[in-house]
A = this chain, B = another copy of it.
Amino acid sequence: MELLKQKILREGKVLPGNVLKVDSFLNHQIDPELMQCIGEEFAGRFADLGVTKILTLESSGIAPSIMTGLKLGVPVVFSRKRKSLTLIDHLYSAKVYSYTKNETSEISASKDYITRDDVVLIIDDFLANGQAVQGLLNIVEQAGASLAGVGIVIEKGFQDGGRLIRERGIHMESLAAIASLTDGKVTFKEEQ
């Protein structure tokens, strides 16, 4: 998605440890118009699949998901992250390991809002090692729901997450796939 890539090149900051910071439009400040374009792009890429629900993870997944949900005419469910669950009744939960934080958190979603009748589109802001998406996939499996696919705003294509998910035969779309962050410079993968 050209608009997104231009925004990353203009405003993204490459930090040590292959970190790409996009706090100016996605992870802290959010650009609503860009989110609307992202929502339209995801809606187009996952059109005609009978999506009934979008599943994402708080907090940065919410804005792109809500715009996609608006365009597809379906509700969004956001999983909550916490270190330990006090209330596990009537929840699906999955453990998610974060390499950057070196900690395991538990993500959860209510059984009321993801059911076996749902066709779920998973959306998240970033994909690196893919731990968060694997957790969301786990929740979809626990619910016995169908999976339409996985939509990622920014994929770190030089890390393993995307490959592992695609190898499972899952329809995954990323709007900007990064090939490298070497020497503080963002290089994108060629679109196929």
Contact = CB atoms under 8 A, between A and B. Distances in A.
Interface of A: 23-25, 28-33, 35-36, 58-59, 62-63, 66-67, 69-70, 73-78, 80, 109-110, 112-113
B70 A36 contact: yes
A76 B33 contact: no
Task: Tell me if A's interface is mostly helix, strand, loop or mixed.
Answer: mixed
Contacts of A62: 30, 59, 62-63, 66
Given A23-B112, A112-B24, A78 B36 contact: no
Stoichiometry, as copies per complex, reads 2
A30 B75 contact: yes
16 contacts: A23-B110, A25-B75, A28-B109, A29-B75, A29-B76, A29-B77, A29-B110, A29-B113, A30-B62, A31-B75, A32-B66, A32-B67, A32-B69, A32-B76, A36-B70, A59-B80
Contacts of A25: 75
A62 B68 CA distance: 15
A30 B70 contact: no
Given A58-B58, A58-B59, A62-B63, A75 B32 contact: yes
Given A30-B66, A62-B66, 13 more contacts: A23-B112, A23-B113, A28-B113, A29-B76, A30-B69, A32-B69, A32-B70, A33-B73, A35-B70, A58-B59, A59-B59, A63-B76, A66-B66
